[in-house]
Amino acid sequence: MSNSPFNLENKTAIITGGASGIGAATAELFASVGATVHVSDIDLKACQDRHASSEFADKIIVHHCDVADKASVDAYVDAVLAAGMVDILFNNAGAGMVGRIEQTSEEDFDRLYNVNVKGVFHMTSALMPHFLERKAGNIVNMASICGVIGVPDRFAYCMTKFAIVGMTKAMAMDHAKDNIRVNCICPGRIATPFMLDRINEYPDPEAIRADMDASQPMGRMGEPEEVATVALYLASDASSFVTGACESVDGGWFAG
């Protein structure tokens, strides 16, 4: 067994929104360092297809879960706990929306709130009794640069990601003495379908891509694997004295 603090051998992780992008890359990375990974997505087929050919497929178990639906979350968590103990929860699933308040309907507001905020609430509520009973747990929440600064045209999305930063810090305080660490990740623009599909909806995708690259001082978008490594840092003993943190992965955006 490796002595690396990044080693996840004998650990079990839950990852939501793992059919693509950051969640899929993180599932692969966690499995590559020894974890058993129960990955889920609202799109079960896409999740199965994404992980079936993985080099680490034997360590990755795929489930259906809509994080906005409490019954779906409870069924997922029950199935995972029936298989054994859980060490790590990565609340990664998320929905996006471009628009100011005047372009945001109540349905839009509720949709983003239900996936991004209530999704984290449902998943973490379902796992917290297990973590408390074990006196051990590690929660990593997916926030965003939009959770620490206001980004133009992202009214509802910013609302949800600021809420995730708030939930992260509140839970970190509440459970600091329970050996349960709670941190979040604040990526800038990352080249996943979440970002790239939206760019392709604009009349001039190349110009938009150049703008989006330029919003990061490093002049490019990040790659999902560059976020997955930060998730591994937070989920592993490498960050054993870190709780309540918001880790920027944004090519310097938040520093400016």
39 to each of 30, 51, 93, how far by Cα in Å?
11, 9, 11
Pick from 8, 37, 42, 231 the residue near ligand NAD by CB under 6 A.
42
The residue from 12, 144, 216, 243 that contacts ligand NAD (CB under 6 A) is 144
- Phi/psi region, residue 237 (left: phi>0; alpha: psi -120 to 50; beta: rest), is alpha
The yes or no reply on residue 168 touching ligand NAD (CB under 6 A) is no
Residue 62 or 180 having the CB closest to ligand NAD: 62
Sole window of 29-37, 74-82, 89-97, 170-178 interacting with ligand NAD (rule: CB under 6 A): 89-97
Stretch that binds ligand NAD, among 54-62, 191-199, 203-211, 240-248 (CB under 6 A): 191-199
Decide: 141 and 120 in contact? Cβ < 8 Å: yes
Q: Residue 189 CB, nearest distance to ligand NAD (Å)? A: 4
Contact between 8 and ligand NAD (CB under 6 A)? Answer: no
Catalytic residue list contains 157: yes
Q: Which of 76, 113, 157, 233 is catalytic?
A: 157
Q: ∠70-78-163 over CA atoms, to 5°?
A: 40
Count of residues that bind ligand NAD according to CB under 6 A: 30
Which residues, at least 6 apart from 70, have a Cβ–Cβ distance to it below 8 Å?
A: 122
Binding flag, residue 36, ligand NAD (CB under 6 A): no
Shortest distance in whole angstroms from residue 54 CB to ligand NAD:
15
Q: Is residue 82 within a helix (H) or strand (E), and if so which, with residue range?
A: helix 70-83
Q: Residue from 29, 33, 77, 142 that binds ligand NAD (CB under 6 A)?
A: 142
Reduced 3-state DSSP string for 244-255: CCEEEECCCHHH
Report the C-alpha gap between 232 and 7 in whole angstroms: 9
Question: Which range of residues in 30-38, 76-84, 87-95, 125-133 is near ligand NAD by CB under 6 A?
Answer: 87-95
The residue among 235, 242, 237, 228 whose CA lies nearest residue 17 is 228
Tokens 């990740």 appear where?
Answer: 185
Question: Alpha-carbon distance 26 to 88, whole Å?
Answer: 12
CA dihedral 54→60→65→67, nearest 10 degrees, is: -100
By the rule CB under 6 A, 127 interacts with ligand NAD: no
Under the binding rule (CB under 6 A), the answer on residue 73 touching ligand NAD is no
Residue 17 as a binder of ligand NAD (CB under 6 A): the answer is yes
Nearer to ligand NAD, 16 or 243 (CB): 16
Residues forming contacts to ligand NAD in the complex (CB under 6 A) are 16-17, 19-23, 41-43, 65-68, 92-96, 115, 142, 144, 187, 189-190, 192-195, 224
What residues are labeled active site?
157
